[in-house]
A and B are shown apart, each in its own frame.
Chain A
């Protein structure tokens, strides 16, 4: 009996070890990468990335509502809204959160993805978040927001870059919901559409890949 228990402990330790080495546990940019960002993109870009990293470290223990506020506020404050054509010189480019922070600018899709990703990193369940296609009625254009459901049946709150405040969806009469995806599904579909080899990737793998892409990015 003792033997079996010892074996089980040993096995679990092994799995834990494997997990540590196979998937980055948290986003921790190396000093080298940060130095590179600083030298290449300037102090502001460096400062944004550094603050983002600090946010992910410090906000982990906060209640979910506060996490939403911090993250929404961080991106709405630090990132300027701009179309892809101005930032990336293409009509539609899905930037990683790191790319967006370095540029200090992004479109609605980049905001939503960055917020989704950061909250996920902070421990918010994917099941509570959806990226929703909406129509911005006043602007009369296609728009994207992040919605948060504390429970499945409740009215979600909307994390939007058009307004600073997080409001319940029912109060957002300026927006008309069209369709929602969970983040992984959206990322998967988008990657497939852009010609990336998307085969048997699981949702977990998608985010892992995104993280790796950011950590190893040749910026």
Chain B
């Protein structure tokens, strides 16, 4: 029962008691007053009647006596007036029936009143002539009392109702801030650090509100501090210190994402061949400056180029890489040429006519990262053959045939449902060792029974819009598995951006979640951090939809550069699985440790469970335990 209801009942009960007592006392007082007045009335009547009759009492039979008594009696106030002589023999007796009209019988039974009567001795000259006794008609007093009680009852009732109404109003005003504080606490729990600006006037509630405001601000400051720390750690992990370009790890993540989403792109490999001879001529600072100048050209290209979207990476020392998206062969050749001339200009400044060679190769969704880098290297070697600061672009003609075969396989497998769903990547609770989550993994075999590279399969499915059917099929299999196997832990399902945006899938999923309410909390939709970061608003809408239907969400492959804690706060996923790169070599890398610790801190504040993936060594595993990460897969 709410506090306001408890207070309302308690105070209303007190009011009722006070009003009832007051009512009872006032009724009793009225009754006492009326009885007293009646007594005086009776005595006065007896005395004055005695005085009036005394001069006629010499003759007991004088008709004036009865006439005088009748005149008084007929006024109606009296039930009986009786005159007796000195021997107590009745001379005149006048009686009325005690009729009590307008007063209910229960009232008379409940509040019996004493019948007022009095007597007075009558003297005739020196002698005592008799006694006159007067009894009042109680009807009049009863009627007065009844009227008083009724009006007093209604006034008390009105006063009681008004008091309760006033009380209700005061309670509502006084307790309204408590509701606000509750909402505020919920907001804070959800990561929105609001404050209540208008402090309530009740001292205790005002103090609580002020404390809550203080706490909200402190938590917000803590989050901001963690965010700043995260940014610093992310920079260290992702950026080359000298040039400010992204490191190779970022290149690998971007490449993986390109496999997952169908992207037209070229991969470039740039090596400063002249660096080794320069190091012999220049000191360390000059070399650093040279590399900075070189990187500047690439950075300039990535920000200024109107041809496609260019990302630049420094692998190590003299080796750089490019990912050029949304361009054709011709445009890439132009970029190659522009770079070649820019590098030649730098070379001239250092009196080195031949310092760099650039190899460019088209992105192949059915190849591996290694083979792509190998192809880029081949192009680089071709560029070396072309001449000073040369560039070479490979054509992608040889890929077309392979893709056609892949398309056929993908359509066949998805339409015929010739894929298997395994459950892998078991995440265990680091404290208890119990299973927390498994991930649904799709396995596909080709016509020869050979296992197909799933990354390429997904990439092709995405390219030809088959991914939605595949995701739907996998979700169905997971639901069926959950229903048949009676497992307690959660199962993660990977969904692609295309699937998430698909309205048919959304409608279908809603139906599935509604008809499987009991197991919905065990379903965890796993979303790649890279994809989420690209389209935050789309994913936020999806995450809200999932939460509304009691299922849960995990952001996987979470890296330092994935998203800020502000974005995380707005998305509010249930789980974050850090990328395997973040836990591998954790023990030896202070930067990675700082990142994982910060993520754990943010997770605790925002109520997000943090997992690690594919932990290799026991040292790293123990390190994660020390940081108090909730769970990890080995």
Residues of the B chain whose Cβ atoms lie less than 8 Å from the Cβ of A177: 123, 125-126
Task: State the CA gap A159–B18 with chains docked (Å).
Answer: 60
Q: How far is the CA of A151 from the CA of B121 in the complex (A)?
A: 16
Does A180 contact B86, Cβ atoms closer than 8 Å?
A: no
With an 8 Å Cβ cutoff, the count of chain B residues facing the other chain is 11
Query: Is residue A211 within 8 Å, beta carbon to beta carbon, of the partner chain?
Result: no
Question: Which chain A residue shows the least CB distance to B43?
Answer: A189
Tell me, in angstroms, the Cα distance from A152 to B54 when the chains sit together: 16
Q: Establish whether residues B128 and A149, one from each chain, have CB atoms under 8 Å apart when the complex forms.
A: yes
* CB contact between B87 and one of A152, A155, A185 (< 8 Å): that residue: A152
Q: Mark B47-58, 1 if CB is under 8 A from A, else 0.
A: 000110010000
* Binding site secondary structure of chain B: mixed
Q: Which residue on B lies nearest to A155, using beta carbons?
A: B126
Considering only CB atoms, which chain A residue lies closest to B86 in the complex? A152
Q: Are A179 and B86 in contact (CB under 8 A)?
A: no
Chain A residues near B51 (CB, 8 Å)? Answer: 179
Interface residue B127 (Cβ < 8 Å from any Cβ of A)? yes
* B93 CB → nearest A CB, Å: 20
* A180 cross-chain contacts in B, Cβ below 8 A: 121, 123, 128
Judge whether B86 and A130 touch: CB under 8 Å. Answer: no
Q: Which residue of B lies closest to A176 (CB)?
A: B125
Name the residue among B50, B121, B127 with the largest chain A CB count within 10 angstroms. Answer: B127
B residues near A185, Cβ cutoff 8 Å: 121
Q: Is A196 on the interface with B (CB-CB < 8 A)?
A: no
Interface string of A149-172 (1 = CB under 8 A from B): 100111110100000000001100
Taking a contact as CB atoms under 8 Å apart, the answer to whether A156 and B121 are in contact is no
| B54 proximity list for chain A (CB < 8 A) | 179
How far is it, in angstroms, between the C-alpha of A153 and the C-alpha of B128 when the chains are bound?
7
CB neighbours (8 Å) of A10 from chain B are: none
User: Could you tell me the distance in whole angstroms from the C-beta of B441 to the nearest C-beta in chain A?
Assistant: 102
Q: In the complex, what residues of A have CB within 8 A of residue B121's CB?
A: 130, 180-182, 185
The distance from the CB of A190 to the nearest CB of chain B, in whole angstroms, is 13
Q: Which residues of B contact A149 (CB under 8 A)?
A: 127-128
**Nearest Cβ in chain A — how far from B196, in angstroms?**
63
Residues of A near B87 (CB, < 8 A) are: 152-153
**Binary per-residue interface labels of chain B (90-129) against chain A in the complex, 1 for a CB within 8 Å, 0 otherwise:** 0000000000000000000000000000000101011110
Cross-chain contact B127 with A155 (CB below 8 angstroms): yes
- A132, A153, A155 interface centre (most CB from chain B within 10 Å): A153
Report how far A189 CA is from B121 CA in the complex, Å: 14
Closest residue on chain B to residue A130 by CB atoms: B128
Complex Cα–Cα for A182 and B128 (A): 11
List the A residue with the shortest CB-CB distance to B51. A179
Given A179-B51, A179-B54: A153 and B123 interface contact (C-beta under 8 Å): no
CB contact list, B549-574 vs A, under 8 A: none
Given contacts A179-B51, A179-B54, A182-B121, is CB(A152)–CB(B128) below 8 Å?
yes
CA distance A51 to B126 in the complex (A): 32
Cβ–Cβ < 8 Å partners of A96 in chain B: none
CA distance A154 to B86 in the complex (A): 11
Cβ–Cβ contact B127 & A153, under 8 A: yes
Chain A residue contacts of B126, Cβ below 8 A: 132, 147, 155-156, 158, 169-170, 177
Report which residue of B86, B121, B128 has the largest number of chain A beta carbons within 10 angstroms of its beta carbon: B128
How distant is the Cα of A182 from the Cα of B121 in the complex, in angstroms? 8
Bound CA span A153–B121, Å: 14
B465 CB, nearest partner CB in chain A, Å: 106
A207 to B121, CA, bound (A): 20
Q: Report the separation of the CA atoms of residues A156 and B51 in the bound assembly, to the nearest whole angstrom.
A: 19
B241 vs chain A, min Cβ distance (A): 106
Contacts of B123 in A (CB 8 A): 130, 132, 177, 179-180
**CA–CA, A60 and B147, complex, Å:** 57
Residues of A within 8 A of B127 (CB): 149, 153-156
Q: Which residue of B lies closest to A169 (CB)?
A: B126
Interfacial chain B residues near A170, Cβ < 8 Å: 126
Which A residues are within 8 Å of any B CB, using their own CB? 130, 132, 147, 149, 152-156, 158, 169-170, 177, 179-182, 185
Cβ contacts A to B, 10 pairs, < 8 Å: A149-B128, A152-B87, A152-B128, A153-B86, A155-B127, A156-B127, A177-B125, A177-B126, A179-B54, A185-B121
Taking A152-B86, A156-B127 as given, write out 6 further A-B residue pairs in contact, using a Cβ cutoff of 8 Å, ordered by the A residue number: A152-B87, A152-B128, A153-B86, A156-B126, A181-B121, A182-B121
Residues of B within 8 A of A (CB): 50-51, 54, 86-87, 121, 123, 125-128
Closest 3 A/B residue pairs (Cβ): A169-B126, A152-B86, A180-B123
